[in-house]
Amino acid sequence: QKEVEQNSGPLSVPEGAIASLNCTYSDRGSQSFFWYRQYSGKSPELIMFIYSNGDKEDGRFTAQLNKASQYVSLLIRDSQPSDSATYLCAVTGGSYIPTFGRGTSLIVHP
């Protein structure tokens, strides 16, 4: 059974701080890694994806992948109250079906 683990939170950070969200996965054959943001009552929307070890930056967001340790993280710099949401990590290993974590709730307080 492929598993993706995330701390459910909530993770609470002050406005302007760096929020660090972590995800571990069990399948060593995993190849693609995705972060989705989901606001309450809304559907998930893709924020970032990463395929290779290392860092990938997009604006205030940085995804970090370490395949040897089987974890992927998402850093949000200069966190804003509008970043308050649940962040879902998803992992695929070459099949059509991603495995989703249950998500981490992030609260950015003014």
Partner 1 sequence: DVKVTQSSRYLVKRTGEKVFLECVQDMDHENMFWYRQDPGLGLRLIYFSYDVKMKEKGDIPEGYSVSREKKERFSLILESASTNQTSMYLCASSSGADQPQHFGDGTRLSIL
**Site track 24-63 with partner 1 (rule: CB under 8 A), x = hit:** -------xx-x-------xxxxx--x-x------------
Residue 109 pairs in a beta bridge with: 14
Q: Restricting to residues 63-92, name those near partner 1 by CB under 8 A.
A: 88, 90, 92
Q: How many CB atoms lie within 10 A of CB 14?
A: 10
Q: Is 96 in the site for partner 1 (CB under 8 A)?
A: yes
Separation between Cα atoms, residue 22 and residue 77, nearest integer Å = 15
Which residues here bind partner 1, judged by CB under 8 A? 31-32, 34, 42-46, 49, 51, 88, 90, 92, 94-98, 100-103
